[in-house]
């Protein structure tokens, strides 16, 4: 029913073969299906009456033995109709798909539940990843759930403590590498090729993408099969935008979706090789040796899934844009103050990108927009504290509080006797 296929030369590999790159041309792999068989399974399934979650879509996943599923109840994240933010940005319809509501606080959990399930199915005992933070937190949690050994390589001194603490408390062996993410990824690739007992679970692994495509499925189901005009996604290693597009195309192929949206990728200005390729109409990217941005989750100069991301953006007639750190932090505060959603800086890049594209006239004000926010704000609380006003400290006396609130003056609050 399912097999692995090279995205370039179309060489095929068995679904249970542990392989990360095509042996013929060296390119990435993706999972392919016999969609007639999926249709047969769906006709016998009650899947549309199952509560939203990644495993609601088990018939779309490359897992044979469902008894081996490793889950923390991921998926089913909030889909927030953001009316106040609409007015601030100047558009008519906006939903925020908040992936920070997943078990470890990021969209990575969607991929890890499938990736770690496949690891268990394959019988491996040890898993590994390189990470800017969220991947290590998620893999460590799911490895703990499955009873697998876990190793995570992270750039030294460049990981937000909210994420680092998760990987550590879940029991992963965390190794800080004196270099950037791309150098860490190169090491784990070599280790997983050299030692077949170590299973790599970065987004190079096509089973990760299969879990993450459920994000696209959920957006459609939460809109009752109505297609948004555009989905805006933060882009780091580029697995997520690729996965969402794969899921949308599968729903469309199976007749569960009539139209497809435009995929729009947002990168930080100091780490934007995919945006540059789109704007220069290039078929390849130029890696950035020293990527820099406050949005650590997307601080990646050589995204592995760049080819899949370019394909998703171009096939969908979408676009890509950069945002500065200042624009990201402003968008983070705006989302929190208007909609009560606290997301990490990388997540807010989708909101910053929306604002910028509306201002540029690249997004029509009547477009139906979905912005994906990828991680919870508590992943990187230091940033939020630094850019917010310090708490006011006073003596424990009511008159001191009244003074601060202006209640001892002829203010509207004092007159009404209420504090809103």
Q: How far apart are CA 164 and CA 159, in angstroms?
A: 6
pLDDT at position 322 is: 98
pLDDT at position 73 is: 97
For each of the chain's 420 residues, which pLDDT tens digit applies?
799 999 999 999 999 999 999 999 999 999 999 999 999 999 999 999 999 999 999 999 999 999 999 999 999 999 999 999 999 999 999 999 999 999 999 999 999 999 999 999 999 999 999 998 999 999 999 999 999 999 999 998 878 888 999 999 999 999 999 988 889 999 999 999 999 899 999 999 999 999 999 999 999 999 998 899 999 999 999 999 999 999 999 999 999 999 999 999 999 999 999 999 999 999 999 999 999 999 988 999 999 999 999 999 999 999 999 999 999 999 999 999 999 999 999 999 999 999 999 999 999 999 999 999 999 999 988 888 888 888 889 889 899 898 889 897 654 544 444 444
In 3D, which of 374, 333, 326, 366 has the Cα closest to residue 350?
A: 374
For the chain, the straight-line distance linking the first and the last C-alpha, in angstroms and rounded, comes to 59
pLDDT at position 103 is: 98
- Listed by start position, the domains of the chain span 78-105+209-385
pLDDT at position 344 is: 96
* Architecture category of domain 78-105+209-385 in CATH: 3-Layer(aba) Sandwich (3.40)
pLDDT at position 119 is: 97
In 3D, which of 248, 286, 236, 275 has the Cα closest to residue 357?
A: 275
pLDDT at position 166 is: 95
Between the CA of residue 153 and those of 28, 110, 120, 352, 389, what are the distances in Å?
A: 21, 21, 22, 30, 35
pLDDT at position 123 is: 95
Strands 319-323 and 198-200: unpaired
> Would the pTM of this model clear 0.95, i.e. be above it?
no
Q: How far apart are CA 231 and CA 219, in angstroms?
A: 9
Annotate 175-229 with three-state secondary structure: EEECCCHHHHHHHHHHHHHHCCCEEECCCCCHHHHHHHCHHHHHHHHHCCCCCCC
pLDDT at position 371 is: 98
pLDDT at position 311 is: 97
Output DSSP code: residue 233: E
- At 411, list the tokens: 């203010």
């Amino acid at each position: 029913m399912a097999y692995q296929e090279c995205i370039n030369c179309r060489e095929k590999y068995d679904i249970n073969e542990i392989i990360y790159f095509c042996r013929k041309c060296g390119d990435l792999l993706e999972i392919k299906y016999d969609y007639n068989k999926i249709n047969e399974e769906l006709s016998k399934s009650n899947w549309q009456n199952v509560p939203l979650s990644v495993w609601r879509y088990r018939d779309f996943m490359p897992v044979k033995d469902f008894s081996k599923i490793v889950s923390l109840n991921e998926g089913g994240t909030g889909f927030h109709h953001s009316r106040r933010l609409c007015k601030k940005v100047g558009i008519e319809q906006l939903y925020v798909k908040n992936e920070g509501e997943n078990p470890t606080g990021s969209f990575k959990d969607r991929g890890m539940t499938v990736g770690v399930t496949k690891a268990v199915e394959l019988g491996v005992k040890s898993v590994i990843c390189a990470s800017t933070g969220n991947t290590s937190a998620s893999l460590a949690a799911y490895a703990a759930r499955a009873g697998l050994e876990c190793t995570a390589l992270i750039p030294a001194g460049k990981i937000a403590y909210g994420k680092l603490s998760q990987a550590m408390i879940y029991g992963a062996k965390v190794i800080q590498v004196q270099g950037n993410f791309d150098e860490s990824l190169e090491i784990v690739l070599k280790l997983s090729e050299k030692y077949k007992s170590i299973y790599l679970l970065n987004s190079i692994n096509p089973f990760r993408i299969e879990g993450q495509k459920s994000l696209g499925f959920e957006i459609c189901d939460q809109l009752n099969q109505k297609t948004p005009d555009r989905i805006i996604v933060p882009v780091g290693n580029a697995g997520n935008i690729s996965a969402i597009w794969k899921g949308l195309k599968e729903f469309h192929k199976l007749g569960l979706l009539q139209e497809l949206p435009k995929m729009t990728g947002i990168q930080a200005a100091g780490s934007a090789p995919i945006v540059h390729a789109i704007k220069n109409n290039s078929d390849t990217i130029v890696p950035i040796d020293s990527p820099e941005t406050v949005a650590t989750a997307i601080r990646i100069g050589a995204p592995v899934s760049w080819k899949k991301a370019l394909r998703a953006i171009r096939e969908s007639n979408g676009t890509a844009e950069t945002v500065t750190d200042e624009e990201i932090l402003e968008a983070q505060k705006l989302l929190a103050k208007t909609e009560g959603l606290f997301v990490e800086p990388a997540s807010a890049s989708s909101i910053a990108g929306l604002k910028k594209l509306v201002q540029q006239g690249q997004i029509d004000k009547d477009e139906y927009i979905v912005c994906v926010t990828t991680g919870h704000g508590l992943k990187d609380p230091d940033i939020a504290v630094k850019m917010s006003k310090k708490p006011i400290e006073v003596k424990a006396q009511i008159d001191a509080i009244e003074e601060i609130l202006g209640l001892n003056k002829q203010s509207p609050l004092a007159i009404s006797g209420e504090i809103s």
